[in-house]
Amino acid sequence: MASTHKQNVDASRDVIREKIGDAKPKMAVILGSGLGGLTEKIENSVAIPYAALPGFPVLGVQGHVGEAVAGKLNGVDVLAFRGRKHFYETDDAYPLKTMIRTVKALGIETLFLSNAAGSLRDSMLPGALMMITDHINFMGFHPLVGPNDDDFGPRFPPMTDAWDPLLRDRLAETAQDENITLHEGVYMAFRGPSFETPAEIRMAQAMGGDAVGMSSVPDCIIARHCGLRVVGCSCITNLGAGMDDEELSHAHTLENAKRGAGNFERLVAAFVKHLA
């Protein structure tokens, strides 16, 4: 499997290179549920369906298109991924590994992760943005379990600064310059697909979480394993179960993601200028 995986990474890298020519993206971004509109801001864009990229995920969740979009965002070359495979859909980490390790193989150094998330704080309401400062993996799943992929990283990667401190500072400064309110907090990942119970929300609060969701943590772990710098942002779509009377659903998540999408797009577009 390891040799096939490496072949998929190399083949996907070559497909993307052929499509983008001499462009050298400064940043890759994985777009969470309801946040795919950022790709409409990318100029001179080239869209590559995941089906054309060996080893990439086949998606089945509404709000996740399944394509890579390359081009210029605010004058800077970027590579954006519309959609990811969630681990409530599969036990197989290799499609996500292929996506993220292809980023590394392309020579990109920075990965921006985004997601739709539930707030654990009464002061952080739907439409708000939260910069991820750290994470708690409560998924009962780890993407690096099994034989280590020595071609990509060490057996025991450290996670002390999983979410890059310098990039976080830069993102906070960007938000201030753009007059965007950017909360900060710890993202706690549950596997899903069910939303959390009120008791689980109280537990997450007691454990130090500020937002909950079903993604991004495996992405971050894989990225750090292969040496990518990671920064990330959650778009708050709801309060956690039991914190209000609102009924939770995926349709509700997609609808409320629109409330923060505009600021999210402005934030990412301004942030990438700092990487030029």
Q: Which residues are catalytic?
A: 33, 64, 86, 88-89, 116, 214-215, 238, 250
Burial class (CB in 10 A: 0-12, 13-18, 19+), 11: middle
Residue with the two structure tokens 């054309």 = 52
Phi/psi at 3 (5° precision): -65, -40
Residue with the two structure tokens 């454990």 = 207
Longest dimension (CA), the chain: 52
C-alpha distances in Å from residue 119, one per residue of 128, 246, 275: 9, 13, 30
| Encoded tokens for 39 | 């790709």
- For residue 95, how many C-alpha atoms fall within 13 Å in the half-sphere facing its CB? 18
C-alpha distances in Å from residue 108, one per residue of 27, 30, 99, 103, 130: 6, 13, 12, 6, 24
Local structure of 212: helix, strand or coil: strand
Give the helix, strand, coil percentages of the chain, each rounded to 5: 35, 25, 40
Find out whether 268 and 73 touch, Cβ atoms under 8 Å. Answer: yes
Find out whether 220 and 100 touch, Cβ atoms under 8 Å. Answer: no
DSSP strand pairing (182-189 vs 129-137):
parallel
